[in-house]
Amino acid sequence: MKDKRYLFLITVIIMSVVFILVYTQLPYKRIPNGLPADYFDIIDKIEDTNANVYVYSDKLNFNDDFHPKFISKVSEIELNRFNEKNFLVIDMDKYNSKSLGTIEEIDQIYKNQCFYILLINYGSSDSTKFDELLTDNSKSSDLITLTYSACHSSYHIEYFSSGFSSNDILMYAILDKISMLISAA
């Protein structure tokens, strides 16, 4: 009788430990390690606003949590001037080796089609392709956002002043930036 009581007690203790471990791991398992708790809120916000997000990159996959439109040519972009939530993410690591389109084509969607342009890995790739659009302060950055005044409230350049230690943090920064731009639009 006493043995059964001990067995029951041990079982309860083991179950409690397992429950605590499972409880503290499971609900948050899907957020990539190192990213803030608002990760899925940001993704939901972008998806709920029907923002058009185009990505030109081989490295960004957003962990399959977010599904932008991956393109290989500017001509694949559906132009819609009436939607002010258009984003083009250009990975300069890919841009430097392959062709997304001419500067004139990118200029066209930037200036005439209300696209926000997000340049990633610009500083680390030592690119100079967009130098004429950038300020000296921003050229070394790995996440630069370009906004043109004709479509939005003003023309300006925003840049992260330091690099990103992991691809997950870079991907989060892109999503966070898009989310903030949607809020400000």
Binding site for other proteins (CB under 8 A): 21, 24-25, 28, 31, 33-38, 135, 137, 153-154, 156-162, 165-166, 169, 172-173, 176
Q: Which of 75/154 has CB closer to other proteins?
A: 154
Q: How many alpha carbons lie under 13 Å from residue 14 in its C-beta half-sphere?
A: 6
Largest CA distance in the chain: 85
Q: Which of 62/159 has CB closer to other proteins?
A: 159
Amino acid at position 55, single letter: V
* CA–CA gap between residue 154 and residue 58 (Å, rounded): 31
Q: Which of 85/177 has CB closer to other proteins?
A: 177
> b/e map of 104-134 (b: 16 or more CB within 10 Å)?
eebeebbeebbbbbbbbbbbebebebbeebb
* CA–CA gap between residue 171 and residue 175 (Å, rounded): 6
Count the Cβ atoms, other than its own, within 10 Å of residue 41: 11
Instruction: Give the three-class secondary structure for 52.
Output: strand
Q: How far is the CB of 169 from other proteins (least distance, A)?
A: 6
Q: How far is the CB of 114 from other proteins (least distance, A)?
A: 17
| Cβ 66 vs Cβ 43: under 8 Å | yes
Q: Which of 5/29 has CB closer to other proteins?
A: 29
Q: How far is the CB of 110 from other proteins (least distance, A)?
A: 17
Q: Which of 54/159 has CB closer to other proteins?
A: 159
Q: How far is the CB of 61 from other proteins (least distance, A)?
A: 18
Q: How far is the CB of 141 from other proteins (least distance, A)?
A: 8
Q: How far is the CB of 66 from other proteins (least distance, A)?
A: 17
* CA–CA gap between residue 72 and residue 94 (Å, rounded): 10
Q: Which pair of structure tokens corresponds to residue 143?
A: 């996440």
Q: Which of 7/17 has CB closer to other proteins?
A: 17
